[in-house]
Amino acid sequence: MNNASEHLHQRVIHHLSTIYDGIVEPDDMESLAQAAIDTMRVNDVETSPEAFINHWDEQDVILITYGDSLISDAKKPLQELHGFMQEHCKGYINGVHVLPFFPYSSDDGFAVIDYSSVNESLGDWCDIEALSSDYRVMADLVINHCSSRSAWFQNFIKCDGPGHDFFYTASPDDDLSQVVRPRTSPLLRETETLKGTQHVWCTFSHDQVDLDFRNTKVLLTFISIIRQYLDSGVNLFRLDAVAFLWKEVGSTSINLPKTHEVIRLLRCLIEHAQPDAVVITETNIPNQQNLSYFGNANEAHCIYNFSLPPLLLNTLVTGNCRYLKQWLMSMPPARNGTAYFNFIASHDGIGLRPAEGLLNDEEINQLVNTMSSFGGCVSWRNAENGQRKPYEINIALYDALQGTVNGPDRWGEDRFMCAHAIMFALEGIPGLYIHSLLATGNDYEKLENTQHNRSINRHRWQIEDLTSQLARSHTQHAKVLARMKHLLALRIKQKAFHPNATQFTLQLGGQLFGIWRQSLDREQSVFSVSNVSDQEQVLNLADINLIDLQSWVDLISNSTIDVSAGTMILAPYQTVWITNR
């Protein structure tokens, strides 16, 4: 065994000893570590991964989409997605997060029946591999739970076969009062098995039965799943709902230390198998808890910037960036080897837990009421004190930004583009939801059919209808797509927009939101300034310290900045990216 292999072996033993202390006998740790290494096929690594290496740059933009967001009678949905990206995204977007593409029973893919198969209605593994030949592919590792219709759970009911001992059970008499979860349904599912009644832990729904990582076979099974995904071209791993992975009766069962240790172990194995692979944690929780998933640059490479969507939405509907600035100034820069994953819309709603402590109750209620007036829905959770609190807002972002707290107005499209111009400029890797790229509105028909609030923002486009809409330049879909591609074409060429480039928040008042970015080589600066209000605003150029001896240009409008004028006027929701090239 060479030095790198020996070092990996010792690291794996350390992680496993921390996770399974008191569960696995110390004498068995060696064989368990070897089983994990064998399963990931990293027996003969020659070098250890370098620490603090950025596996991304300013050209990284990820499209977020379901595998069947685009459908037709002519091709499988994954093939339609690939064709759409080749036609409309190539040269602008270099990665794609295909939301769960496995056989499932509910929650639009997040109740996985079989982790090893592609849902045949979408395509097959060859389609995933084809996507990966042109784009970086992110896949969900739905690691906290699986479907109650899975073979594993059916074997649990039969008390025999693979998976029969994979599930976390508790007693209704246990003290579960501290458990934190994002749903109001009962935590325990009563299930009749051949060995009697069992009460299965269900963090999310009774069709999503929680896995028990105290069983080492569960861990080894997921290591095997990761290996299969790597072999199929996946190199970005989104650990879904991972904050809830480890449960302990009498605790909150969220963010527990052993959850963090499992992530460290998986990262260690993944980066030894493929050094440029990236682990992203999906932890829709308050901001400071979310930041903890960076660990000491040894857990997630990237964390979802969950506080950004509600704070940016609040900024643009109130016309004041106070809370957005306060939050941004409190955020630590991501050290090399880690990055924020920025998004402002996704398949889920706009989470409100990440706004707790950042927006007060009055601000949150105003935001909820405004979104409700724009046709949105609200999902609720039970708080620790038994009080019902809003958990997330369900609405298409294009409709969410149709107006302000005063109601709809004529600035909807500009406000929508302003939101994306801000996101594209921020420190981190941008994730762009396909329905934002296409300016898709609320899908009330799907909402009515499913009776699930999240369906409002999960439209399926018939490719013929979409093609027709995009062929007419005056439609909102064509206009937004063209404007989005213009911004992206600029963004990916600016070294100052590297995900780890320096960022400072500018103090320009409540109606102008500004940041300064400087490239890692310090050769380029970009001042991103956005008017977040529905009135013209005056930008004093002295406030952003433009040096008159240099030539400055606004990238977005491709116009030269006359520094000697002292000021410039920003139209409602206009963004400027001022740079010295």
Among residues 72, 73, 83, 85, the alpha carbon closest in space to that of 462 is found at 72
Q: Is 548 annotated as a binding residue?
A: no
Q: Give me the helices (H) in 241-321, please.
A: 257-273, 287-291, 308-318
Which helix or strand (DSSP H or E) is residue 470 part of? Answer: helix 463-471
Helices 257-273 and 29-40: crossing angle in degrees, nearest 10, is 50
Long-range contacts for 2-9 (Cβ within 8 Å, ≥24 apart)?
2/44, 2/46, 4/45, 4/46, 4/47, 4/48, 5/43, 5/44, 5/45, 7/48, 8/37, 8/42, 8/45, 8/48, 8/268, 8/272, 9/33, 9/34, 9/37
CA distance 254 to 180: 7
CA distance 75 to 79: 6
Among residues 254, 161, 162, the alpha carbon closest in space to that of 201 is found at 254
Q: Is 410 annotated as a binding residue?
A: no
Q: Which of 127, 140, 240, 534 does the annotation list as catalytic?
A: 240
* CB-CB neighbours of 55 under 10 Å: 17
Q: Which residue has the tokens 């991972």?
A: 242
The two structure tokens encoding residue 102: 């496995």
Q: Give me the helices (H) in 286-395, please.
A: 287-291, 308-318, 322-330, 361-373
Q: Is 212 annotated as a binding residue?
A: no
Burial class (CB in 10 A: 0-12, 13-18, 19+), 363: middle
- Per residue, the 3-state secondary structure of 393-427, as one string, reads EECCHHHHCCEECCEECCCHHHHHHHHHHHHHHCC
Q: Is 240 annotated as a binding residue?
A: yes
CA distance 189 to 209: 8
Phi and psi angles of residue 268, each rounded to the nearest 5 degrees, phi first: -55, -45
CA distance 404 to 378: 18
CA distance 288 to 516: 24
* CB-CB neighbours of 581 under 10 Å: 12
Is-catalytic flag, 276? no
Q: Is 367 annotated as a binding residue?
A: no
Contacts of 234 (CB under 8 A, 6+ apart): 128, 132, 137, 138, 139
Which helix or strand (DSSP H or E) is residue 34 part of? Answer: helix 29-40
Phi and psi angles of residue 122, each rounded to the nearest 5 degrees, phi first: -95, -35
Burial class (CB in 10 A: 0-12, 13-18, 19+), 50: exposed
CA distance 393 to 453: 9
Among residues 202, 206, 208, 164, the alpha carbon closest in space to that of 181 is found at 202
Q: Is 239 annotated as a binding residue?
A: yes
Annotated binding site for substrate: 107, 145, 238-240, 347-348, 454
Annotated binding-site members: 107, 145, 238-240, 347-348, 454
Q: Which residues are catalytic?
A: 240
